[in-house]
Amino acid sequence: MFPILSMFDILSVSFSFPQVPPFEGMHVLVVHFPIALWLTAPVFVLVATVLPVRGRWCSFAALALMILATVGAFAAVSTGEAARDGIEEGKDEMFAVLRQHEQLADLLRIVFVIVTTLYALFTLLPSVVRTWIAPSYLVPVQMVFLLVLLASSLLVANTAHLGGRMVHEFGVRAVMTAPPEAEE
């Protein structure tokens, strides 16, 4: 059974913030945000498809998620490149998986930018051309983007799988503490 904790037990627990890793160790912290945001956006696009006029706010929510995911993708690639530069030795197969992971991450970043830009255009355009705030425009556009987001989610999953292989199969770990500074 679980012990019953008193208020004094809870208050006596020491609390401290974790040490912030160096930039090359940030990849493991940064990379999960764009993945989660990108995989959540289709839910909002689906609601916007089902409720084209009343659920128009879902289009804006999906767009916000996509913009944040795209910005996060740039941060993830940047920290991933820094983490890669810290890998000095390993099997040839590991470096092949690393190259694939890096190539897919670069492709994903481009896909994120293109899809987000087009979705922004097609989401914001009806605000200018008022006659396009109609199911005859909104539903087909949302359906196309739903399919595009689902297809790009497969690319996200494949890229993440390769990153997972780097960690779980080959034992690549992020640098979590800064190297000690040299004494003068």
153 lies in some domain: yes
pLDDT surpasses 60 at 182 = no
12 lies in some domain: no
pLDDT band at 10 (very low <50, low <70, confident <90, very high): low
For the chain, percent of residues with pLDDT exceeding 70: 89
pLDDT band at 5 (very low <50, low <70, confident <90, very high): low
16 lies in some domain: no
Spatial distance between the Cα atoms of 145 and 42, rounded to a whole number of angstroms: 8
Spatial distance between the Cα atoms of 35 and 70, rounded to a whole number of angstroms: 10
1 lies in some domain: no
Please tell me which of 9-13, 164-168, 172-176 the model is most confident about, judged by mean pLDDT. 164-168
11 lies in some domain: no
Spatial distance between the Cα atoms of 76 and 52, rounded to a whole number of angstroms: 33
pLDDT value at position 120? Answer: 96
14 lies in some domain: no
pLDDT surpasses 80 at 181 = no
pLDDT in tens, 73-99: 999 999 999 999 888 888 999 999 999
Contacts of 57 (CB under 8 A, 6+ apart): none
pLDDT value at position 138? Answer: 85
Model-level pTM?
0.83
DSSP string covering 26-63: -HHHHTHHHHHHHHHHHHHHHHHHHSTTTTHHHHHHHH
17 lies in some domain: no
Average model confidence (pLDDT) across the chain:
88
Spatial distance between the Cα atoms of 170 and 12, rounded to a whole number of angstroms: 40
In eight-state DSSP terms, residue 18 is P
pLDDT value at position 11? Answer: 66
Phi-psi region of 167 (alpha: psi -120 to 50; beta: other; left: phi over 0): alpha
- Residue 157 identity (one-letter amino acid): A
Spatial distance between the Cα atoms of 71 and 109, rounded to a whole number of angstroms: 9
Counted domains in the chain: 1
pLDDT value at position 13? Answer: 66
pLDDT in tens, 13-68: 677 787 888 888 899 899 999 999 999 999 999 999 998 878 889 999 999 999 99
8 lies in some domain: no
The range of the structural domain enclosing residue 83 comes to 23-168
pLDDT value at position 16? Answer: 76
